[in-house]
Amino acid sequence: MRRILLAALFAAQLAAASPPGAVPSPAAASPPEYSIQAIRLADSPGDAVADMVIGAPKDEKIDSIYAIWLIRGGGRNILFDSGFHRERWFKESTIKDYLSPDQAVRLAGVKPEEVTDVVISHAHWDHMGGIDLFPHAVIWIQREEFRYYTGPAWQPGGDHDGIDPEDVLELVKRNTEGRLRLIDGDDVQIIPGIRAYTGGRHTYASQYLRVGGAPPFVLASDNVYLYRNLTERRPSATFSEADYPANLKSQARMIELAGSAQRIIPGHDALQFQKFPSVGRVATIKAADIK
Ligand SMILES: [Zn+2]
């Protein structure tokens, strides 16, 4: 009895000692069980595989997709990536059967204003271009990704390929409104049970997520473009060619973090809507249902 009392006292002291926003102690409530859904925004027919799977045959084509991922639990509606809607990209890319991200979340029963958090894997137009459609959400991005694409990327020698200046302005606006959170690097718990990781280097400081659960999943975004990156052990397209080994290393780490390559969800692979049970544009990502 006395031992139980002491343990309770210790737990209470730990809780009292934690600053607000700190990672909960083991004594705190266990993280919520999350549901994960992939929502297809559009098709991208006839893409060159070699642009996504480094070293694949030059003339091989694949029909890929654009998607966002909705994570629900613990009173939150979290989006991983925000899709896109700006005119210019419809001229520059082949985009078919498009649905805007704010309409896409409605298909899963969530109103755009009910989205509480948007975690941005990287600053490219097709991932960060929809943040203005979720007015009440807190936006999460890596601190280094924010720093690079709001500054050095636009200086001589910088690389802002695939970055929309309008998205950058929106990101800065969110910051001035107090609704932006900067994540400090690798292996950081951002929301109970959800951790951010870096090292894939698709962009300057791209990140991916591990969603804890029984079992866990890794949402890779473009750090793994297609399932083929994993099965053929080929790098995904990276910030520079020097990052290919780092990308392969991060793929191996994702397998460890998810416990299986089957539970890594790539950024642009249409197969995720066949591997997992889908209704229309929405696939429910569940371990029991992997085909
Ligand atoms: Zn992408």
At 161 the three-state DSSP class reads: coil
pLDDT, mean of residues 53-75: 97
Distance CA 64, CA 283 (A): 15
In the chain, DSSP finds a helix count (H) and a strand count (E) of 9, 13
β-pair partners for 265: 219
At 274 the three-state DSSP class reads helix
Ligand 1 centroid from CA 223, angstroms? 9
CA 12 – ligand 1 centroid, Å: 45
**Cα 37 to averaged position of ligand 1 atoms, centre (Å):** 17
Q: What is the pLDDT of residues 245-256, one digit of tens each?
A: 999 999 999 999
pLDDT class for 23, splitting at 50, 70, 90? low
**Residue-range domains of the chain with CATH:** 33-289 (3.60.15.10)
Taking only the tens place, the pLDDT of each residue in 195-228 is 999 999 999 999 999 999 999 999 999 999 999 9
Residue 103, H or E segment: helix 101-107
Which residue in 277, 245, 188 sits closest to 197, CA to CA?
188
**From the CA of 33, how far away is ligand 1's center (Å)?**
27
At 181 the three-state DSSP class reads: strand
Grouping H, G, I as helix, E, B as strand and the rest as coil, residue 202 is: coil
Residue in 37, 135, 39 with CA at minimum distance from that of residue 83: 39
Residues 226-247 have pLDDT tens digits of 999 999 999 999 999 999 999 9
CA of 266 to the centre of ligand 1 (A): 10
Given a cut of 80, whether residue 9 has pLDDT beyond it is: no
